[in-house]
Structure 1
Amino acid sequence: MKGIKRFNMKGKLAPRYIGPFKVLERKGEVAYQLELLESLSGIHDVFHVSQLKKCLRVPEEQIPLEELNVKEDLTYKEYPVKILEIPERVTRSKVIRMCKVQWNRYSEEEATWEREEDLKAEYPQLFEATSSKSQG
């Protein structure tokens, strides 16, 4: 199940792009030095061009970087925003309810499938919100 993430982790919910950051200078043929926030001081500030993405958005439309609470050990907490679907998977001996979950800072296309019992154990408030919607 998803939870604490590290910048160097690979996987569906590994951070892809954060920013934008100002380019300070070009380092060699394919590397750039960026001006990072103080909270990201534990991260090396020179990146290969393949790790960068051109900023095409207006700065006012972007999520404030202060919302990305990176700890000193370069971890951050992810939490589910909403449940998109709850189908049942039937095996020979039991029925397993799965939830398609949208996580913070990720779109609905990047939602993951999690077991309902695991989600209820860690995020019970998520089910209180969905049950109140279905009753009202």
Structure 2
Amino acid sequence: MGGSWEDHFPLIEFAYNNSYQVSIEMASFETADLGPDMVLKTIEKIKLIRQRLLIAQSRQKSYADRLRRSLSFEMDRVHYVFYVSILRKCEPDPSHVLDWVDVDIGEDVSYEEGPVQILDTKQKVLRGKTMQLVKVLWRHHRVEEAT
């Protein structure tokens, strides 16, 4: 049998539509009757298919539940291990030291931020427009955090 899959697609489709589907207990072509009562028959077929799918799903669930085991963990036998060999020597770095500053926090857990000093100004030209840029030092922040 040579040729591409497109040449054999009608045969594959025919074989699939005429094969018996275990979950709905009928062939696929039986689900689409054509005729004057097509809508009513289709609704009935859909109800039947849903009912059979629920039965199949319930059967699969009960089978899976029978195979499922309950797991229990005994935490009293667990011991935590601290591996000293993994530790590395601490190299002191002055940038890792935090400056502690008291901040007045309001009842709604917010605080007021305010400018302290203008650190730098410059002009930037964008598409023919000149913009004034200002670098501001804010209260409760270091110079490196200025925006």
What's the TM-score once normalised by structure 1's chain length?
A: 0.33
More helix by share: 2
Q: Which has the higher strand share?
A: 1
Whichever of the two has the greater Rg, that structure is 2
